[in-house]
């Protein structure tokens, strides 16, 4: 079987070119705010990628960097500032947060029309209700990549591995909204192989390097790898790419698959926030 590699990098570049044109026509530059708390080295890599991407499309990026030992009040104050800043149209709080910070209170504090990550309860609820504004960037990026390659999910059996609020749950919901039949697996699933083996589409977001092996994949399945695990200087996905690509019909690489799509969907969301701010002003 000839496998098609789902090229997230190339697809993201196309979207960046389109965004550049849209942004250049605006009277003001859309602004993305990014709050980081602490010195998580992975977060720093992701955030600098987001800042660079903003600059490439002509958006501004405002960073608020808080110390590792910041209090809940420190973070809530930063959020209040961004809620009021008229040059910041959308913003994100980079997760994970240090353990003394209650992330759900932080997400509650983000104004829904400035919630560029789509993680606030109002936007999560809207997504649940099928009102798809400000969707979380990673699941939105996966759907866009499937669309780019004209992969129809309707009637297909999708197995999602992982049930986090930011990837597993929303991608399961979006696939189901597109008429896939969805099974959700997680760390307490008894027989993961039995589940994935039945899947027409596998989306793996466990963050466990190589857990999806060739003998767990049905011939011709579409395999989307969200996982990012650091192995020394390299990063690895959840999927044993070299072996699984011999069985799959479509597969995302890591890196160069879901990651670049996540970044550009954040930019698209920032533009949506900008457009909403003009309706509110
Ligand atoms: P998380 O730790 O919040 O959730 C992981 C999920 O995987 C949990 O629901 C857990 O039950 C499940 N899980 C863990 N081990 C399992 C196992 N052995 N079998 C079945 N399920 C298992 O993580 P997250 O924030 O959802 O992120 C998941 C992965 O995706 C991480 O590697 C993260 O770095 C990566 N990620 C990538 C992008 C991207 O743009 N490519 C974006 C977000 C997250």
**Per-residue pLDDT at 133:** 86
State the Cα–Cα distance between residues 209 and 182, nearest whole angstrom: 23
State the Cα–Cα distance between residues 63 and 48, nearest whole angstrom: 10
Q: Give me the mean pLDDT over the 83-90 stretch.
A: 97
Tell me whether residue 233 is one of the annotated catalytic residues: no
| Cβ 119 vs Cβ 130: under 8 Å | no
Any idea what the Cα angle at residue 52 is, between residues 276 and 22, rounded to 5°? 40
Q: Give me the mean pLDDT over the 126-144 stretch.
A: 95
Q: Give me the mean pLDDT over the 130-157 stretch.
A: 96
Residue bearing the CA closest to ligand 1, atom 12: 162
| Cβ 173 vs Cβ 164: under 8 Å | no
Q: pLDDT-derived band of residue 233, with 50, 70 and 90 as boundaries?
A: confident
What distance in angstroms lies between residue 168's CA and the mean position of ligand 1's atoms? 7
State the Cα–Cα distance between residues 252 and 181, nearest whole angstrom: 21
| Residue for token pair 């597993």 | 168
**Per-residue pLDDT at 102:** 98
Please determine, for residue 272, whether its predicted confidence score (pLDDT) is greater than 80. yes
What mean pLDDT is reported for the chain?
A: 96
Catalytic residue among 117, 225, 238, 240: 117
137-258 matches 27-112 in CATH topology:
yes
Residue bearing the CA closest to ligand 1, atom 4: 164
Determine the atom of ligand 1 nearest the C-alpha atom of 95: 25
| Residue for token pair 């996540």 | 262
State the Cα–Cα distance between residues 115 and 182, nearest whole angstrom: 27
State the Cα–Cα distance between residues 75 and 43, nearest whole angstrom: 16
What distance in angstroms lies between residue 164's CA and the mean position of ligand 1's atoms? 7
Determine the atom of ligand 1 nearest the C-alpha atom of 262: 40
State the Cα–Cα distance between residues 53 and 15, nearest whole angstrom: 11
The reply to whether CATH 3.40.50.10860 applies to domain 27-112 is yes
Q: What is the 3-state secondary structure (H, E, C) of 138-206?
A: HHHHHHHHHHHCCCCCCCCEEEEECCCCCCHHHHHHHHHHCCCEEEEECCCCCCHHHHHCCCCEEEECC
Nearest to 225 by CA among 206, 200, 199: 206
Residue 57 DSSP code: H
Tell me whether residue 85 is one of the annotated catalytic residues: no
| Residue for token pair 């609820």 | 125
What percent of the chain is modeled with pLDDT above 90? 93
Tell me whether residue 50 is one of the annotated catalytic residues: yes
State the Cα–Cα distance between residues 161 and 202, nearest whole angstrom: 8
Question: How do residues 1-48 score in pLDDT, each as one tens digit?
Answer: 799 999 999 999 999 999 999 999 999 999 999 999 998 888 888 999
Q: pLDDT-derived band of residue 281, with 50, 70 and 90 as boundaries?
A: low
Q: Span 137-258: which CATH code? A: 3.40.50.720
- Is 185's C-beta closer than 6 angstroms to any atom of ligand 1? yes
| Residue for token pair 């963050």 | 207
- Is 159's C-beta closer than 6 angstroms to any atom of ligand 1? no
Catalytic residue among 94, 140, 156, 240: 94
State the Cα–Cα distance between residues 49 and 44, nearest whole angstrom: 9
State the Cα–Cα distance between residues 184 and 61, nearest whole angstrom: 36
Any idea what the Cα angle at residue 46 is, between residues 43 and 49, rounded to 5°? 145
Q: pLDDT-derived band of residue 104, with 50, 70 and 90 as boundaries?
A: very high
Q: Give me the mean pLDDT over the 153-167 stretch.
A: 98
* Structure-block tokens of residue 72: 């809940």
- Is 166's C-beta closer than 6 angstroms to any atom of ligand 1? yes
Please determine, for residue 234, whether its predicted confidence score (pLDDT) is greater than 80. yes
Domain residue limits, the chain: 27-112, 137-258
């Amino acid at each position: 079987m000839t496998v098609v590699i789902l090229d997230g990098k190339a697809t993201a570049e196309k979207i960046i070119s389109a965004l550049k044109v849209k942004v250049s026509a605006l009277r003001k530059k859309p602004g993305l705010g990014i709050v980081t708390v602490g010195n998580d080295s992975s977060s720093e890599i992701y955030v600098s990628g987001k800042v660079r991407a903003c600059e490439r499309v002509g958006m501004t990026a405002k960073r608020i960097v808080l110390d590792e030992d910041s209090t809940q009040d420190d973070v809530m104050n930063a959020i209040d500032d961004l809620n009021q800043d008229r040059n910041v149209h959308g913003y994100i709080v980079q997760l994970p947060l240090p353990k003394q910070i209650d992330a759900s209170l932080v997400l509650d504090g983000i104004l829904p029309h400035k919630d560029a990550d789509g993680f606030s309860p109002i936007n999560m609820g809207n997504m649940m209700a099928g009102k798809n504004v400000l969707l979380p960037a990673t699941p939105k990026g996966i759907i866009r990549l499937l669309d780019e390659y004209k992969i129809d999910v309707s009637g297909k059996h999708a197995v999602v591995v992982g049930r986090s609020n930011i990837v597993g749950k929303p991608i399961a919901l979006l696939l189901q909204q597109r008429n896939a039949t969805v099974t959700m697996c997680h760390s307490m699933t008894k027989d993961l192989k039995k589940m994935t083996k039945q899947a027409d589409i596998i989306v793996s977001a466990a963050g466990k390097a190589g857990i999806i092996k060739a003998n767990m994949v049905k011939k011709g399945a579409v395999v989307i790898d969200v996982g990012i695990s650091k192995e020394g200087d390299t990063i690895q996905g959840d999927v044993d790419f070299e072996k699984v690509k011999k069985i799959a019909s479509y597969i995302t690489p890591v890196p160069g698959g879901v990651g670049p799509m996540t970044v550009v969907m954040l930019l698209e969301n920032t533009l949506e926030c900008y457009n909403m701010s003009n309706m509110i002003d």
